């Protein structure tokens, strides 16, 4: 039963082949048996899950239907869940229970989804390897000595290991697409503003966006449908109708113009990944797509701009964790200043502290113009590059990552080496564009992803292209050995 995709589960539940409760119990047993190897969960909520599954079964018995009714899933541990710990992967929030549900959680609960628990992540979503979690590193089910990617590494490992059909994640600079690529999943980061950020613990508010990790595009479409939509509680949520993502999955790709940016194939890209990307281009061409070379000249500046803007916003967002209002408080503070200082020094891990310092520095009076303002200008240039490219093409294709998943610990001594791995994903966040990563083969037994980017609100186009590609390739159907 654990091999079923979300779409297959929805059909099985509708046809009464099994109940939500049966499925939930099966997956809970699998989590108990296999997750100790992976560490993908921070919190498992069996009683809560079984109660939700029974409620979903009762709703079905009363004649209700719906693709998510009774479907098991889990949330990255930065979506607030009422009455269930929301740790954000941090000691700072180890004892935090949100008084309300995030909009994403509330919407999925209302649709009848069954939450099995909260998934491991890099602390405050800062990282590309899921090694920055207070709860320990997550392992890649394809090779337990390797990282699963980050920061939604728990979501990726759990779905790839068939502990769950789908999971939520968030993507500030690649945290859905990169772990999807590292674990052979399909992951979509929607347009900024497509999914509500309300109740999502903020890292960098102008970049953060919630999305889906799943085994194929069809499942991404189903779960995204349940998450997307305007939310008056989030001032950056956009009031655009949500199209039926499943309805366009079958559309032909005949004549679809796909741009391939030459800057994404330069030095630093593993040639074996370039080969896999080339093969995916050929598969899409056979489906009728027309490939065009394009240029995104300011992409080389993206890492520098992102690693000013994201830490700047983080330094501001994380100032609320002061030992007074939320979470961790140090023992026996001498006075208020000591309470602030020690609560933050003891509650935040080293990468979070590094980012807060970088961000506060970039925003300080003497350096604001030199760093933050410059970074914002680069951000605009990057957006302009995309706007110009989308005059000529309908979609952009690139590798998702320059290298496959690295070994645990390999980049611990050199944070900048890890930052450089984000090169292909962060531009979409800087511009606010939707992006998807889909499986495209293997290098040394480790999965490789191909990234698709589309104009604003064209999530349906991305899902359609990935779905068509997945009708003629079978990479996405492969499961890691032992899972
Ligand atoms: N790796 C990037 C960072 O550490 C992106 C993380 C994310 O998307 N949350 O900031």
Tell me the pairing of strands 210-214 and 290-294. Answer: unpaired
Instruction: Please tell me the residue having the least CA distance from ligand 1 atom 5.
Output: 173
Q: Residue 153: what pLDDT?
A: 98
Catalytic residue among 19, 76, 90, 343: 76
| pLDDT score at 267 | 86
Query: For ligand 1, is residue 39 a contact (CB within 6 Å)?
Result: no
Q: CB of 172 closer than 6 A to ligand 1?
A: yes
The reply to whether the predicted model has a pTM over 0.95 is: yes
Burial of residue 299 (CB within 10 Å: 0-12, 13-18, 19+) is buried
pLDDT at 326: 86
The class that CATH gives domain 1-483 is alpha beta
Q: What digits encode the pLDDT tens for the residues 401-428?
A: 999 999 999 998 899 999 999 999 999 9
Which protein residue's CA is at the shortest distance from atom 10 of ligand 1? Answer: 126
324: tokens are 């007074």
Buried b (16+ CB within 10 A) or exposed e, 310-328: bbbbbbbbbeebbbeebbb
For a mutational test of ligand 1's pocket, the pick from 89, 120, 155, 175, i.e. the residue with the most ligand atoms closer than 8 A to its C-beta, is 175
175 labelled catalytic:
yes
Q: How many whole angstroms from 124 Cα to the centroid of ligand 1?
A: 9
Distance, CA of 213 to CA of 8 (rounded, Å): 16
3-state secondary structure of 310: helix
User: What distances in angstroms separate CA 264 from CA 18, 75, 271, 298, one per listed residue?
Assistant: 46, 32, 12, 11
Return the pLDDT at 228: 98
CB-side neighbour CA atoms (13 Å) of 150: 29
Per the listing, tokens 């240029």 go with: 295
Q: DSSP labels for 338-377?
A: HHHHHHHHHHS-HHHHHHHHHHHHHHSTTTIIIIIIHHHH
Atom 4 of ligand 1, nearest CA residue: 127
Q: What is the pLDDT of residues 288-306, one digit of tens each?
A: 999 999 999 999 999 999 9
pLDDT at residue 359 in the model = 97
Active-site residue flag, 76: yes
Q: Is the CB of 196 under 6 A from ligand 1?
A: no
What are the angstrom distances between the C-alpha of 175 and each of 46, 211, 218, 301, 415? 27, 10, 20, 20, 16
| Low-confidence residues of the chain: pLDDT under 70 | none
pLDDT given for residue 22 in this prediction: 98
φ/ψ bin of 442: left (φ > 0), alpha (ψ from -120 to 50), beta (otherwise) = beta
Q: How high is the mean pLDDT of the chain? A: 97
Token output for 49: 């899950």
Distance CA(441)–CA(189), nearest Å, equals 21
Atom of ligand 1 nearest to the CA of 175: 8
pLDDT of residue 137: 98
What pLDDT score was predicted for residue 297? 96
Is residue 174 lining ligand 1, measured as CB closer than 6 Å? yes
Say which of 90, 128, 133, 175 is annotated catalytic. 175
Report the separation in Å between the CA atom of 251 and the middle of ligand 1, taken as the mean of its atom positions.
33
Query: If you measure from the C-alpha of residue 69 to the centroid of ligand 1, how many angstroms do you get, rounded to a whole number?
Result: 32
Separation between Cα atoms, residue 299 and residue 312, nearest integer Å: 20
């Amino acid at each position: 039963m654990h091999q079923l995709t979300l779409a297959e589960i929805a059909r099985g539940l509708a046809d009464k082949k099994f109940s939500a409760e049966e499925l939930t119990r099966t997956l809970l047993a699998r989590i108990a048996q296999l997750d100790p190897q992976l560490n993908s969960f921070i919190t498992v909520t069996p009683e809560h899950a079984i109660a939700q599954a029974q409620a979903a079964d009762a709703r079905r018995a009363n004649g209700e239907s719906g693709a998510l009714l009774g479907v098991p899933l889990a949330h990255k541990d930065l979506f607030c869940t009422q009455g269930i710990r929301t740790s954000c992967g941090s000691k700072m929030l180890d004892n935090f229970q949100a008084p309300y549900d995030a909009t994403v959680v509330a919407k999925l609960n209302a649709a009848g989804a069954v939450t099995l628990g909260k998934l491991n992540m890099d602390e405050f979503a800062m990282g590309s390897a899921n090694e920055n979690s207070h709860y320990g590193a997550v392992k890649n089910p394809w090779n337990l000595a390797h990282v699963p990617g980050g920061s939604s590494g728990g979501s990726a490992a759990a779905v790839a290991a068939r502990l769950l059909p789908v999971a939520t994640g968030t993507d500030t600079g690649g945290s859905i697409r990169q772990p999807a690529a590292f674990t052979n999943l399909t992951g979509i980061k929607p347009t900024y503003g497509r999914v509500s950020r309300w109740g999502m613990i903020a890292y960098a508010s102008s970049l953060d966006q919630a999305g889906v990790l799943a085994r194929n595009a069809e499942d991404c479409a189903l779960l995204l449908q349940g998450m997307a939509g305007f939310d008056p509680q989030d001032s950056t949520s956009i009031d655009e109708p949500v199209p039926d993502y499943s309805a366009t999955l079958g559309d032909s790709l005949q004549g679809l113009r796909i741009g391939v940016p030459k800057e994404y194939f330069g030095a630093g890209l593993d040639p074996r990944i370039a080969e896999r990307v080339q093969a995916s281009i050929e598969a899409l061409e056979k489906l009728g797509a027309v490939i065009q070379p394009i240029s995104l000249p300011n992409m080389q500046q993206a890492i520098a701009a992102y690693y000013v803007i994201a830490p700047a916003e983080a330094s501001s967002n994380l100032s609320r964790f002061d030992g007074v209002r939320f979470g961790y408080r140090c023992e026996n503070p001498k006075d208020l200043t000591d309470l602030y200082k020690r609560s933050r020094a003891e509650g935040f891990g080293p990468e979070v502290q590094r980012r807060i310092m970088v961000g506060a520095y970039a925003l300080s009076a003497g350096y604001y113009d030199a760093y933050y303002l410059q970074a914002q200008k680069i951000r605009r240039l990057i957006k302009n590059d995309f706007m110009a490219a989308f005059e000529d093409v309908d979609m952009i294709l690139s590798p998702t990552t320059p290298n496959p998943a690295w070994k645990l610990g390999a980049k611990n001594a050199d944070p900048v080496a890890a930052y450089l791995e984000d090169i292909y994903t962060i531009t979409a966040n800087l511009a606010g564009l939707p992006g998807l990563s889909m499986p495209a083969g293997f290098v040394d037994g480790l999965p490789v992803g191909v990234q698709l980017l589309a104009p604003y609100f064209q999530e349906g186009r991305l899902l359609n292209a990935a779905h068509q590609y997945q009708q003629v390739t079978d990479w996405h159907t492969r499961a890691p050995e032992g899972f």
